[in-house]
Structure 1
Amino acid sequence: MNLNGWLKRRIRQYIWKQWKNPRTKCRNLIQLGIDKHKAYEWSNNRKGYWRISSSFILHRSLTDEKLAQLGYMDIAKKYQFVHSNH
């Protein structure tokens, strides 16, 4: 796994962990466009934070574009930008 992919997974893990309560997780997943039934199912999941961070549900809800909107920069794009200007 490349560094950029690992960091995005780690960011998704922290966001999932910040939501804490299953009710908060469910509400946030619904706001991010996930079906109510799937949001309830995943918000009450007993899997660990790291395992959930690689799930399809977080990849569909917390997309790369959404992470960029939240202020998390893509390291690969930043690297290309810095090195293309030299």
Structure 2
Amino acid sequence: MNYFRLADMKSLLLRTDEWYRRRIRMVIWKQWKRIGTKLANLLKLGVSKAKAWEWASTRKAFWHTANSFILTTTITTERLRKAGYVFFADCYQKVRLKT
């Protein structure tokens, strides 16, 4: 980040972060594996039972599901930050403010 702090690359890092968050959601969705596990975890995240069942039993691909309304509203950026994930745009902002 320090190497690129003089460059204006905020938009590039924001797009990269979008892709990164989607990839993390995909990996989480893959880790849940079974329909019952997906259902239980979606219910824990606050999704209604009908919608949780609908998305838990979906046959859509992992990458497609990672960008779905259900996962983007339940596995939010704030939840990912709490889990310890670091995003490029945040690091870039910290470095840019120092100069």
What is the TM-score with the length of structure 2 in the denominator?
0.82
- The aligned residue for residue 28 of structure 1 is 41
Gaps of 5+ in 2: 1-13
Amino acid at match of 2:16: L
Higher relative contact order structure (alpha carbons within 8 Å, sequence separation ≥ 6): 2
What's the CA shift for 1:82?
A: 2.1
Q: What is the aligned-residue identity percentage?
A: 44
| C-alpha RMSD over aligned residues | 1.2
What's the CA shift for 1:37?
A: 0.8
- The aligned residue for residue 48 of structure 1 is 61
- The aligned residue for residue 68 of structure 1 is 81
What's the CA shift for 1:85?
A: 1.8
Counterparts of 1:12 and 1:40 in 2: how far apart (Å)? 18
What is the TM-score with the length of structure 1 in the denominator?
0.94
SS of the residue aligned with 2:95?
A: helix
- The aligned residue for residue 6 of structure 1 is 19
SS of the residue aligned with 1:2?
A: helix
Counterparts of 1:75 and 1:33 in 2: how far apart (Å)? 28
